[in-house]
Structure 1
């Protein structure tokens, strides 16, 4: 039996907050599911044979033809603009080079530069390419009229100094490419070893004529072109009736509207009505 005095100490003890341990003892923990706090893993499926689709050779050839047509259409859009004074489109494939000397201190990283007219193209750099770099890069350029040659330069890319030109060649375009034939040949390179003694570069050259849109414009007979409409002459008699209908509008304004409507009085009256209603 608990004695309660006048101070009410028992009531004060009952009002004291419970400790954390006492609250934890009152928590009822039920049985947790087996997938509690676990990632959902998809159920394994029976591995079956991977289906292999058999493509008909005729269908494959048709798809390849469609792909080529699409590529040609995209290329036509990219090269749709033909600059003036253009002879055709030249394709230069820089295959490889066989150099006689390695000019690098440790290694040589060659790349090739091609100049066609005023256009300049560069290949990728072949790291540690040495004396036999292979690029296999094709560049396309518009060949201007009266340009009969291209200029080739081979550089050694340097990391801490300017790139060094180690070989070059001034190549005259073979006349056979202008007849629709491609030329696959080696051309001599010049450099420190002497004229044509620095090695050889392997090129594939091709040429395709292009149509200049400016040249396709046909001469039009001036007599067949309709003359521009002549201005309509407005007299005071033409404006007299309309001025009487719209006395509040200046006469010159009415004349201008009538000239704009090319003498059509009905259209002029409609326009003047809109002007008066909008005021």
Structure 2
């Protein structure tokens, strides 16, 4: 009798296991991690910032954009945070969004509640932009970076008037609004001379931020277009020349062969940002893969 009951239980267990097996085609989202809108935006900003940093290191050159108030100099000095989240000391870094620009500081490893960055940022401030959105993240090795604090910061009027401001701004977070600590920023705005349209000499500058003309990985990125009637690089003479494509499909295929696991949209965006220069594009993609 005992043997019969044991055999019956074993058969029942085997039947239950078979009932749990999925038969047929797997669903499209099988083993795929789903993210909410906030997580998607954070991941998109992180990806954009990595590409922008690669472009900064590659020395991307571009004409001075139109419709700007001036050149904003921003130094992210340090922060005093309310709490150390996690078992070990935090490794904080800062991500800042100003207009269409996304900038990151280096990571302050073991910075814990008192990280110091002393990161200097220079960018052109468009007319109508008078604030920034700032986030502090704790860098993680095996999981998604943890957002510690954030703040909407209005650029002081004295900065827009030409003064240099060194201030501490409150941070919000899990502790509550403006209760997560403080961050120290130094800001100043300098005037920039716009080049004349009739100039025959291209005026270039070292641009810290690149604007992409198409979405990257499904995250739309706003574009700052060249003003109507003004070429990206002034032409010699009075007759406009037809614009050649930045790169050919053969150029794209050669780069794609070197980075088969890289998404097509990313490769095309970096190619366009580098005006079809394959060597600079390859260096930028290598730096992205090494990060």
TM-score normalised to the size of structure 1? 0.48
TM-score normalised to the size of structure 2? 0.46
Where relative contact order (Cα < 8 A, 6+ residues apart) is larger, the structure is: 2
